Amino acid sequence: MAEASEVAQPGGSDGPADLPKAELPKLYRAMVLARVVDERCLTLQRQGRIGFYVPLQGQEAAQVGSAWALDPEDWIFPAYRELAVALVRGVPVKLLLDQFIGNSGDVLKGRQMPNHYGYREFRFVTASSPVGTQISQAVGAAMAARWKGEEIVTVTYFGDGTTSSNDFHAGLNFAGVFKAPTIFFCQNNQWAISLPRERQTHSETLAIKATAYGFPGVVVDGTDVHAVFAAVRAARARALAGEGPTLIEAQVYRLGPHSTSDDPRRYRTDAELAKWKEKDPIARLKHELLTASVWTEEEDATLWETTRKEVVAAFESAEATPPVDPLTMFDDVFAERPAGLELQRASFAELLKDGGLKP
């Protein structure tokens, strides 16, 4: 098995609309890695070792399948649940955990709340808490890329609740008018925190909302990695051909809480949860691999064991990483710090040196 940070190797923008059989074990490894990191982070938050986390359990196929269909040059505008997308992009587990902890390995220098990660190197834009803001940003970036002659698309991820936001409607309308090369990827996980999908909108589907803005909306089974991959690959080809955006509704289910601040037992039933657990996307792909004789139970057990050990090791390394240097608060605002800010920095440095304030 590859290292946890190297498991995902997308096939790029060319090739057939369906996944080659040889690729499927790679996608399965990526999904298992996402599930293991997800479970570990939930545990760590409950132990007080990270402050906040937004789980994705049940949405692995939607995220891995969609990310696998993209080109590494495409820009991703996530919400706050796209851990598996980041892993497919190649973001190392240690780097994600550095951000969750907020240590000196965090490229954001502790300035974002936990679970709001972003990495320019991987073309993965920092998430924001307000829902929908990433949609307009993705459309704007897509238009800029087209004007610059770049053959890329932008992809923005969001949930069913976000389809009621102002940014959703403004972003889709603008994209439709100007045929922006953007893919709108809605993970309809049935619950906008505690609000069920049927109370979110009276539309037959969420994808149908694209009709009002003049471009296609597609509904896919978000637990089927093949269906997701094919839909995104087709949407990407359409966008690059100058035909404009596509709204994809991947129907999934959030098996865990909305976030570690949420208790889903207050608003949904055990029977509903049990029904969707039968559609677990990881179990579904594992069954396919076993049936096709390209995977064995022994390989599966080894994969889970090895992945868990790698994630534990990554967290131990992240937890041992020193905290953020407090003096970095004076960085990154000005190309050259003004004299007044230099004085403040020097004064603060003396305070730290004298022990008046502990880092």
Residues 132, 123 contacting (CB under 8 angstroms): no
Residues 171, 201 contacting (CB under 8 angstroms): no
The secondary element (H helix, E strand) that includes residue 171 is helix 166-178
Q: What radius of gyration do the chain's Cα atoms show?
A: 21
Residues 7, 25 contacting (CB under 8 angstroms): no
The secondary element (H helix, E strand) that includes residue 327 is none
Distance CA 154, CA 340 (A): 41
Please give the DSSP secondary-structure letter assigned to residue 86: H
- In sign, the C-alpha dihedral spanning 292, 67, 143, 187 is positive
Note if 197 is an active site residue: no
- Any residues with CB less than 8 A from the CB of 312 and at least 6 apart, and which? 40
Distance CA 81, CA 164 (A): 18
Q: What are phi and psi of 94, to 5 degrees?
A: -60, -40
Please tell me which residue in 29, 123, 146, 258 is annotated as part of the active site.
258
Please tell me which residue in 267, 268, 284, 287 is annotated as part of the active site.
267
Distance CA 295, CA 351 (A): 60
Note if 258 is an active site residue: yes
Per the DSSP assignment, residues forming a β-bridge with 219 are: 249
**CA 187 and chain centroid, separation:** 11
Please tell me which residue in 89, 116, 226, 254 is annotated as part of the active site.
254
The secondary element (H helix, E strand) that includes residue 180 is none
Distance CA 346, CA 163 (A): 48
Note if 254 is an active site residue: yes
Residues annotated as part of the active site: 254, 258, 267
